[in-house]
Each structure stands twice: as C-alpha cells, then as structure tokens.
C-alpha cells in the first residue's frame, strides 16, 4: 500500500488480544487501516524514506565468529550498512537497530530503499524487506480445566516450580499481587536475564523484564517495561499468576484468581503497544529470550499467513525449539472465516479459543410475557436497574430510528430513542462498547446487542456504558420480529449474575481463527483450543473503581487469552517431564485433548453445530491427561528440513529459517503430511494420487509392557489401512513405526462435500492416544 506521497507503507500484524478487546466488532480490513495509519504517522519523522528493514545475510564460510563475544559478528553486520554522510540530509543517527545473534542471521537497520538496493550487491546478502507491524491477538478456568489446589496435576508438578515462561507482549504491572514471589524459590542457575525495573519490583516470580519497544528508531531510549495497555499483565497472570483471593470485576466472577502454573517464573519482554508489535522488536526480544534461558515462550500476537521464511515469529520459533524451548502462539481472531489463521508453522503450538462453563448472564425479556425471554451476557450488571426506571421500557430497533448506519449504532446516528431500550447490531466497523456509548449519548435507557449471522450463538460479557445484554443472532431476529408485530413494543433487561454450569462448554469461540493451513496445507491447524472467552486475569488499574488495592482485574476475550493458558499448561508438563522435547510436549497436549463437552456431546461452534477439525484442531486441552499421554509423536529440529524442502522453498529461503546451509538435493524431500506430526491433513484432488501412504513413529512413555489396539473413524468417501494394527511395547521409550494408507473411494470430492474428518486412535487399558484426520477434496 502507499500513502499520498507514494511512499511504501509497512504491512501490518496485530496484537491479537489487545486490538481484539477494544475493537471486537471491527473487521480485519479495519484493523489493517488503523495499523497502517499508525505506521504512517511514525514514518513521518523527517527522515525522508528511511524506515526499519530486516536484513537476512549468509555468514561467509571462510570466517568464524566467536560464540562468546558478538563484537566480530556485529562488526561484520555493520559492513553492510552505508557510510553516513554527516553533511547530508539523510538520517545521521546510528543505523543499526538490532544485531541478531541467536534466532536469526541478520540485523534490523534504518535504511532507504535505494540503500537496500545497493546492499544487494554485497557478498553474503540474502534478502531485505521493511518490517511489519503485527497485531495482538482467571478465577474459574483452572477449575474448569481440572486444576485444583492440593491435589492432581498441580500437586504432581508442584505448580510448575522451576520452569521459566517468557512472554512477549505489552509489558507488565510488576507490583500486582498476581506476581508476588511469596513461597517461590530463586530461579534456576541457568537464568541469565536481567530486570529493567528499579528497586525490588522484580523478584523470584518476575525474574526478568526488558523493553524493546521503539529501540534505536530515532526515539528516546525506552523506559522500564510498564504495561499501560493491560494486555501483557492479563496474559502474564493467565500463564503463571499467583493465587489471589477475592478477585472479581463489577462484582462478577468472584473467586480466587490463579494462572496455569502459579509457581513458574516469569520473564517479560515488551514488544507491543496498543498500535501493534514491530517485527524487528519481536525478533530482538526472541534473540535475547533464547539466550536468557527461558523454557517456554508465549506470544499472543501474530499476522496474516506468510511463507515461513518471511514470518519472523516462525523464524524465531525455529531457533527456540532448537534450544529445547516450547513455543505457543495465538491462532488469531479472524474467525469464523476459513483459512484465517496466524502462526501456522508445525514447530509452533497454534492455539484457538473456547468458552468455559461460567456465564455472566443477563436476559432480554420482551413484552409482558415473562416466559418470552432470551439469554445473553453482560459484565456490568447494575443491580438497581429495575428500581431506577419503570419496567418494561419502550423498545426500538436502531435501524428504524436514524440514518443508514444507525442499525450498528454508529456515533451520531441515533435519534428519538430517549428513555428507550435500543436494539443494536454488532459489526459495521463499530466496537460493541462504542455502540453503548452512542445509545447513551442519544438518551437511550439500555441496549440489546444482537449478533451478526456469522457470529451465531457466541456472545461476550463486556463492560458497557449503560445496562446491556448481548444476545445471539437467532434471538435478535425474534426480537426484531416482535418489534415489527406491535405498535408499542416493550422490553426489560434482567441481570442474573455469575452462573456456573453451561453443559455445552467448551464451545469454539466465533472469533477464533480457522484452518485449513494456508502456508502448509499438509499440517492441520489450529492444534488445540483452550479458554479464551470472558477470561478474568490481572489488570493494571481498576476498571470498576471498586477497589483502592493493587488487586485489580479485568475480563476480556481473544485467542490472546487462550494462548497463555496453553503456555502455562506446557510449563506444568515441562516441570513433570524436563527431558521432553517441545514436539513431545505438543504431542502430549494434542493427543489427549477432549472432543466432547460437559454434556458428553461433540463440542459445538458458534452455530451450535458440531465443531470440525479446522475449528478446534485436536480438541480442547485436558491438562491432567496431557501429563500422562501414554505415547508421543516426537520430532527433532533436523526433521523439519526435508519437510521445508517439500514446501518447494529454495535452499536460501530454508537457510533463513534454519541458520545453516541446506541442500535439498542431498537431505531429501518429504511431503508435508509425512512429517511425524500428531495429526493428519491430506488433500484429494485431480492432481493428487488417489492412494496416499504415510508413516508415523510413536514412543512409549507409559508403562513398559503395554499393548495398544487400533480404533479408526474413517473420513467421508475414504478408505484407510493401518499396519500394524496392534502396537506391543515391552520397554519405556521404545519406538514403533506404523504405516497409514489413505484410499479415495469412487466419487470422492464429487458429491459437494468439501472435506472429511475422522481420527486414528491407539487404545490401551490406561490411555487413548488420538490423532485427528482432515481430508480436503479439491
């Protein structure tokens, strides 16, 4: 894209949770426009065409660089930069922004397009492009996930003690009680990080805090990584917050707040603000985190689908898993649309969002019939609403009382709604919160917020400017029909407080991004879903002005909230199995996932239809089962190289990811689905073989003498053959390879069915090890 002067603007990526929280009803295009405007404003700094580029280079074979000192490597990086002319109008500040040592071979620098063009002639140059700006994508969720104080997985893993979780986000509120170090021992001796807060704000819980936001870009040096947005504080406490009693928001969801790994250590790297997260900062933070000694990295951010050699998160994650670091990322908030995922690389755990069984319930009652009511949600629930107005109140549809955008309750569109309950539609590029503010400005007494058709039955509890209930699309249609059927429609809003026990939980959240995987269709994504709707966690300030203490919390939604749940659970598994690789931990999480809800029925999506594998991946995380999976599908970093060759990447493109010379003609090529992944994703079409053959290898991590029998659910219009059909183990850590053949039946892909799904499950007396299967008919 270009601005009015024709200067190229940087593409954008979003903070998946923060942007989502404030802009829930905005489209992806809305996000991109906002972020591009912020980038344009930052670029208009008097530096002409200078902007931050990420430059990838290849180390010369004849030169060795010290592993202890980075000075010689940085000096070599500097040799690519133009000599600065102090008498010219070009930027005379230091050009180098970051020199990467661990997760990438390259650097970030302030350059013009002409200077990059000149750099292309220098030996060792691979590629360069302007950095992108990526978007950001609980009292009850531990209990919902089966985590309880004093017994079970928490006791078995000592609450994650000794594991270091690194989070890249908007910073942290260090003096929040969720980050107290009471009862937490010092970090392991391997920890090499540092704290940029003054005094004693860092402790045995918060062991590291760094700020990378705006480093070296012509701005003043960044201060300590305080969180002014809230997103980073929320995700950090979700992953590893301490127990804090009496947590609530607006008097709702009262209980004891805790993260998934309450005794794990935290290291926080600030790379984001409300405008997003710059790629150069993300890569620099990953570079430092890998060197600091973290065990788990959690990133609730991400951008659109890209080839992995152009995706800085995928590149940094590959270096991390080479060091044994587990890498968890948000799937994105662009659902319910297909092929909308972020973070699709197979070495990343890609996390979608689901509900818990806690509902912050409110109701819309229409007319005089008390039985004519529709369930909804609201975070702010004024208990005196029925005493301050005479109920029922006149009810009006916003689309009939103003100009054309009024159905979305856009600012300045409503009129003649004084003292009435207003029915507003979600969407239209207007946030849900802003809709309530418009109703209040126009004199409305309350708001009923109805979903768009795509959002179905999936609603959110939010803090509105006036009494509100958020209802489903189906409920909204019935309310509209009622309004049209009578000359004097009326309504009442009832507030029911916190209700536990939604039998259909977990449900897939409407906003959770869906597969198939665009960057690598042969890898099924997302991998897993976890709690991401109406999640209570730490917040920098009081949102309800109900407390003067530092124990402040907020309830927000997004895959940003689901990701740290899985990061904390991975820390628990890592604590219990310190020798397991990142791929082994991922396998354990995926193959033990739940596919049934609390009612014992298939998990549903926003339309209350059974969720498919592109919506929920392997299913909903089950922490206790993940700690004892029976079998694991393991993958070593070098195993990904033939897979990358199979994506038809060039040797140089693969080298950007692996930081080592690659010759695909020598290492060989495998198809995507041949990777030893805990799921299957295959394509059947006119150009593909109608019979496809794959192998998988499993390792026994359960009892030494165990037999597993095969259980298959064969996808639509497919046949399957598995050999052997029985796996008999006699030792712990013994490996067995099995072979799977998928055979398309006559008519496959010709009956209008776009895809089929099923599973391959190994069953023993104690374990069920399940791999989901997706078959796309092209």
- Residue 137's SS3 state is coil
In contact, 3 and 40? CB cutoff 8 Å? yes
CA atoms lying within 13 Å on the CB side of residue 501: 1
Pairing of strands 373-377, 358-366: antiparallel
- Kindly tell me the sign of the dihedral angle through the C-alpha atoms of 227, 231, 236, 238: positive
Residues 62 and 60: their CA atoms lie apart, in Å, by: 5
Look at the block and give the residue holding tokens 């529709």.
374
- Kindly tell me the sign of the dihedral angle through the C-alpha atoms of 315, 206, 195, 323: negative
- Catalytic residue, from 248, 300, 560, 681: name it: 560
Residue ranges in 102-167 assigned as alpha helix (H): 113-119, 141-144, 152-156
* Closest to 569 in 3D by CA, of 548, 552, 585: 585
- Residue 13's SS3 state is coil
- Is 231 a known active-site residue? yes
Residues 552 and 522: their CA atoms lie apart, in Å, by: 44
* Whole-angstrom Cα Rg for the chain: 27
- Catalytic residue, from 231, 234, 470, 767: name it: 231
* Closest to 573 in 3D by CA, of 641, 518, 628, 500: 628
Residues 22 and 266: their CA atoms lie apart, in Å, by: 26
* Closest to 569 in 3D by CA, of 165, 181, 188, 294: 165
Look at the block and give the residue holding tokens 């000075």.
71
Strands (E), 229-346: 244-249, 252-257, 265-270, 272-273, 276-278, 296-299, 326-330
- Catalytic residue, from 25, 143, 169, 229: name it: 169
Residues 769 and 134: their CA atoms lie apart, in Å, by: 36
CA dihedral 335, 338, 340, 346 (to 10 degrees): 120
- Is 227 a known active-site residue? no
- Is 581 a known active-site residue? no
**319-323: which pairs have CB atoms within 8 A and are 24 or more residues apart?**
319/102, 319/103, 319/104, 319/286, 319/290, 319/659, 320/103, 320/286, 320/289, 320/290, 320/582, 321/347, 321/581, 321/582, 321/583, 321/637, 322/637, 323/290
Q: Which residues are catalytic?
A: 169, 231, 560
């Amino acid at each position: 894209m270009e601005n009015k002067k024709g200067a190229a603007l940087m593409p954008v990526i979003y903070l998946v949770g923060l942007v989502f929280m404030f802009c829930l009803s905005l489209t992806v295009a809305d996000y991109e426009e906002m972020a591009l405007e912020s980038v344009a404003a930052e670029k208009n700094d008097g530096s002409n065409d200078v902007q931050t580029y990420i430059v990838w280079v290849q180390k010369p074979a004849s030169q060795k660089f010290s592993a202890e000192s980075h000075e010689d490597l940085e000096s070599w990086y500097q040799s690519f930069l133009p000599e600065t002319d102090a008498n010219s109008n070009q930027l005379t500040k230091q050009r180098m922004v970051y020199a990467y040592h661990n997760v990438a071979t390259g650097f970030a620098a302030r350059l013009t397009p002409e200077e990059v063009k000149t750099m292309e002639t220098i030996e060792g140059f691979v590629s360069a492009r302007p950095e992108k700006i990526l978007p950001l994508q609980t009292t009850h969720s531990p209990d919902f996930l089966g985590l309880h104080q004093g017994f079970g997985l928490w006791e078995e893993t000592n609450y994650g003690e000794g594991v270091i979780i690194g989070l890249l986000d908007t910073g942290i509120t260090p003096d929040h009680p969720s980050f107290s170090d009471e009862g937490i021992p010092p970090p392991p001796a391997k920890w090499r990080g540092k704290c940029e807060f003054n005094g004693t704000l860092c402790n045995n819980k918060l062991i590291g805090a760094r700020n990378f936001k705006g480093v070296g870009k012509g701005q003043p040096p960044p201060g300590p990584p305080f969180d002014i947005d809230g997103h980073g504080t929320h995700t950090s406490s979700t992953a590893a917050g301490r127990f804090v009693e009496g947590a609530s928001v607006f008097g709702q969801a009262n209980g004891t707040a805790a993260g998934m790994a309450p005794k794990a250590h935290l290291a926080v790297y600030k790379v984001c603000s409300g405008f997003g997260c710059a790629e150069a900062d993300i890569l620099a933070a990953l570079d430092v985190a890998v060197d600091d000694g973290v065990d788990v990295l959690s990133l609730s951010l991400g951008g659109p689908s890209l080839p992995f050699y152009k995706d800085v998160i995928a590149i940094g994650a590959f270096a991390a898993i080479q060091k044994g670091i587990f890498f968890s990322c948000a799937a994105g908030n662009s659902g319910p649309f297909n092929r909308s995922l972020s973070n699709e690389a197979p070495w990343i755990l890609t996390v979608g969002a689901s509900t818990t069984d806690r509902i912050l319930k409110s109701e819309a009652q229409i007319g005089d019939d008390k039985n004519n009511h529709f369930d909804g949600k609201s975070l702010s629930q004024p208990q005196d609403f029925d005493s301050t107005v005479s109920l029922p109140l006149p009810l009006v549809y916003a689309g009939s009382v103003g100009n054309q955008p009024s159905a979305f309750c856009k600012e300045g569109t409503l009129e003649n709604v004084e003292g009435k309950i207003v029915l507003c539609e979600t969407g239209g590029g207007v946030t849900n919160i802003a809709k309530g503010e418009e109703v209040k400005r126009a004199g409305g007494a309350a708001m009923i917020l109805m979903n768009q058709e795509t959002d179905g039955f999936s609603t959110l509890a939010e803090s509105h400017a006036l009494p509100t209930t958020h209802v489903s699309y189906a409920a909204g249609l019935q309310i509209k029909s009622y309004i049209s059927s009578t000359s004097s429609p009326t309504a009442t809003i009832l507030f029911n407080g916190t209700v536990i026990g939604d039998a259909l939980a977990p449900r897939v959240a409407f906003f959770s991004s869906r597969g198939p995987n665009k960057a690598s269709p042969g890898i099924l994504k997302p991998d897993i879903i976890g709690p991401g709707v109406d999640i209570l966690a730490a917040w920098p300030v009081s949102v309800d002005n109900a407390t003067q203490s530092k124990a402040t919390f907020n309830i927000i939604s997004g895959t940003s909230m689901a990701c740290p749940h899985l990061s904390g659970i991975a820390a628990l598994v890592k604590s219990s199995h310190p020798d397991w690789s990142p791929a082994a931990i991922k396998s354990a999480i995926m193959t033990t996932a739940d596919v049934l809800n609390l009612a014992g029925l298939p998990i549903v999506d926003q339309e209350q239809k059974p969720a498919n594998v592109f919506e929920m991946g392997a299913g909903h995380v089950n922490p206790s089962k993940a700690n004892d999976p029976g079998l694991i599908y393991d993958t070593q970093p070098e195993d990904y190289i033939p897979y990358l060759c199979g994506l038809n990447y060039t040797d140089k493109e693969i080298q950007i990811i692996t930081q080592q010379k690659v010759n695909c003609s020598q290492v060989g090529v495998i198809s995507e689905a041949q990777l030893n992944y805990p799921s299957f994703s295959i394509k059947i079409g006119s150009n593909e073989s109608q019979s496809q053959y794959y192998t998988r290898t499993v390792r026994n991590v359960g009892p030494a003498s165990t037999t597993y029998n095969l259980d298959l659910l064969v996808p639509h219009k497919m046949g399957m053959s598995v050999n052997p059909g029985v796996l008999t183990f006699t030792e712990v850590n013994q490996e067995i390879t099995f072979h799977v053949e998928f055979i398309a039946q006559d008519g496959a892909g010709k009956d209008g069915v776009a895809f089929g799904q099923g599973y391959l499950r190994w069953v023993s007396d104690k374990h069920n090890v399940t791999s989901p299967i997706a078959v796309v008919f092209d």
